[in-house]
Amino acid sequence: MKHTPSRATIGTALSAVALGGLIVGSTAGVAAADNTAAPSSAELAAVVTEISGQTASTETANGMEIPMKAFEVSAPYGDNTGAHAGRGHDGVDLAGPMGAKIYSATPGKVIHAGDGGGYGNLVKVRTDDGHVILYGHLSKILVKKGDKVAAGDLIGKEGSTGHSTGPHLHFEVRNAKDKPIDPVKYLGLTQKELAEVGR
Ligand SMILES: [Zn+2]
């Protein structure tokens, strides 16, 4: 089932935040599936920003988690400049403080946890619907092959291993045909919203 919180639920989440002291759980709003119009992704991003300080990780409109809490987008998906010139960029780079916690964006099964060549220390998680999510350049890997993870589970720490010029997470999503797709769209966000959430 697709997790699309209703407008009413968003209002509730925001009031709860406004009241303070109330923890808005990461599942807030998921149960409410009514017939009201779906909120815009901008509205959802606002809620994500509001509640992110109170939860262990940050849920997106698609019910996934943004894999890092405070970051700058240092290279977008499809980037064809700098280190990515001539080959294009298969993921999005999120740069935060060295050692920042990296959370699984989705539930799934760890199918790789170790050396990934140019990806450095790499975790790959396969989702139930066959997508593979890659977390590259980690300084530390905190899961092992075969582990089941939930969205928001801590899986590693940000680093600069492999082909990397500074601490960042390379976050990549491949579809069931092993083709890279836009990881930001996969999270249910726009580039701008992702940038705002990272602040
Ligand atoms: Zn990258």
Domain coordinates in residue numbering, the chain: 7-55, 69-187
Compute the distance from residue 22 Cα to the ligand 1 centre, in Å: 37
107-159 pLDDT, tens digit per residue, is 999 999 999 999 999 999 999 999 999 999 999 999 999 999 999 999 999 99
Q: Tell me what pLDDT residue 134 has.
A: 98
Compute the distance from residue 194 Cα to the ligand 1 centre, in Å: 15
Compute the distance from residue 119 Cα to the ligand 1 centre, in Å: 8
d(C-alpha 27, C-alpha 66), whole Å:
14
Compute the distance from residue 26 Cα to the ligand 1 centre, in Å: 28
Q: Tell me what pLDDT residue 132 has.
A: 98
Mean pLDDT to the nearest integer, 4-14? 38
Residues lining ligand 1 (ion), CB within 5 A?
A: 91, 93, 170
Compute the distance from residue 180 Cα to the ligand 1 centre, in Å: 12
More confident residue, 49 or 99: 99
Compute the distance from residue 8 Cα to the ligand 1 centre, in Å: 37
Compute the distance from residue 89 Cα to the ligand 1 centre, in Å: 6
Q: Tell me what pLDDT residue 42 has.
A: 53
Identity of the amino acid at 119: Y
Mean pLDDT to the nearest integer, 38-52? 51
Measured in degrees and rounded to the nearest 5, phi and psi for residue 138 equal -65, 150
The CATH number assigned to the domain with range 69-187 reads 2.70.70.10
d(C-alpha 56, C-alpha 52), whole Å:
8
pTM of the model: 0.72
Compute the distance from residue 178 Cα to the ligand 1 centre, in Å: 17
Compute the distance from residue 72 Cα to the ligand 1 centre, in Å: 13
pLDDT tops 70 at residue 38: no
pLDDT tops 60 at residue 53: no
- Confidence class of residue 40 from pLDDT cuts 50, 70 and 90? low
Instruction: Provide the percentage of residues in the chain whose pLDDT is more than 70.
Output: 71
d(C-alpha 55, C-alpha 64), whole Å:
13
- Confidence class of residue 61 from pLDDT cuts 50, 70 and 90? confident
Compute the distance from residue 110 Cα to the ligand 1 centre, in Å: 20
Compute the distance from residue 103 Cα to the ligand 1 centre, in Å: 17
| String of DSSP letters for the chain | ------HHHHHHHHHHHHH-S----TTTTSS---SSPPPPHHHHHHHHHHHHTTSSSEE-TTS-EES-SS-EEEE-TT--SGGGTTT--SEEEEE-STT-EEE-SS-EEEEEEEE-GGG-EEEEEE-TTS-EEEEEEESEE---TT-EE-TT-EEEE-B--SS-SSSBEEEEEE-TTS-EE-HHHHTT--HHHHHHHH-
